[in-house]
A = this chain, B = another copy of it.
């Protein structure tokens, strides 16, 4: 087998540990220089490949690459850009082959979620259809935890840990204030379709930490009357309540609850703020003073409190992707397989990409309590190990020392340019 270079790119919304996967890919590739030449990263994901905007990761020191393990977000830039099918936009695939051929690229590592798995699958299909030899391996990444087959997705454990901790901390705060001031705290979390992150808010309470938490899942149709009754009941018992609401919660008419509430000064619906809608609803109906928070990017970028399990799995799946490629695999994705719960043991498995692409894993029904507002013991057993362990980044003068790579471009070899579709 002639020595080929590798292409690596980050795709979709970034996470606290996607760079740990990059670290796993690059460090492992560097150990196999007999088979893998250079690792070229796409600047801003697949766009870097389409526009021949490649980053030469060999220009980065071992120390800088190692620092990716504790640096959040996408060090090479990510993108939201979905390749169309081979039949509808063949030009894109021909362009990719042109670029890959020019740079002697034979390995394609794509680090992303469900949409990205689809892109990766198409690349591997292209490789067969258009006769260009390419091993395409997908590296799983998504805070939403919605990829199938794998027990969980790298990126999720850390956001789960962040939301559980933040909900616990804020609940302690509102408990302190409730006598004369705030009685309800609402935190909005990510998750347009699947309620995995919202579920993590439920972990704030536990056997040794009794807190009144109500969760609003996107999987459960919102029922205002039932919700207000649940809030009132908890309030009467505890004197305060914390509500964890998923951004994807929908009103009975199917619209996002976030859209039903706020308007800007011109009367336009204001998206992305379901927390104030829920908070106001409680105030208007129960007369309880509230505070609300929208965690937004803070939750998925919070490398400072990443889960050690998550960091380990992100690195391991990156490493495994390269090992799979070296063994000749194509069109696959490393998965996390749960071996046991107590003690928690896991190993890396393998899934065929055509079973992963475009399949969304929702919360199982048995993970949500019958009233629809909490998590079951089964859910706790599933979630607990994913957020276990701390993996603190190094600090200087009170701030985490995240790495910013040099990101030196690979000299272009092609004269042709490529216009991205809008």
Contacts and interface: CB of A to CB of B under 8 A. Distances in A.
B270 A260 contact: no
A175 to B, nearest CB: 7
17 contacts: A14-B173, A14-B177, A71-B172, A73-B169, A73-B173, A78-B176, A78-B179, A81-B180, A165-B399, A166-B298, A169-B302, A173-B297, A263-B265, A263-B267, A270-B280, A273-B273, A384-B397
**How many copies of the shown chain assemble into the complex?**
2
Contacts of A180: 44-45, 47, 79-81
A307 interface: yes
Interface string A256-295: 0000111111010010110111001000000000011111
B260 A169 contact: no
Nearest to A74: B176
A319 interface: no
B298 A170 contact: yes
A399 B167 CA distance: 11
Contacts of A374: none
A10 B265 CA distance: 40
Interface in A284-317: 291-298, 300-305, 307, 309
A379 to B, nearest CB: 14
A139 to B, nearest CB: 16
A84 to B, nearest CB: 15
A400 interface: yes
A277 B81 CA distance: 29
Given A179-B44, A388-B397, A301 B72 contact: no
A422 to B, nearest CB: 10
A353 interface: no
A185 interface: yes
A389 interface: yes
A29 interface: no
A161 to B, nearest CB: 6
User: Could you say which of A275, A305, A390 has the most chain B C-beta atoms within 10 Å of its C-beta?
Assistant: A305
A136 B44 CA distance: 61
A404 interface: yes
A242 to B, nearest CB: 10
Interface residues of A, number: 87
A32 B298 CA distance: 45
A327 B302 CA distance: 46
Interface string A1-41: 00000000010011010000000000000000000000000
Contact of A169 (B10, B72, B404): B72
Given A170-B298, A177-B13, A293-B296, A398 B389 contact: yes
A168 interface: yes
B47 A173 contact: no
Given A73-B172, A273-B276, 12 more contacts: A44-B180, A47-B179, A79-B180, A164-B398, A166-B298, A166-B302, A173-B300, A263-B265, A272-B276, A309-B398, A387-B399, A388-B397
B400 A165 contact: yes
A62 to B, nearest CB: 19
Contacts of A206: 397, 399
A257 to B, nearest CB: 11
Contact of A387 (B181, B261, B302, B398): B398
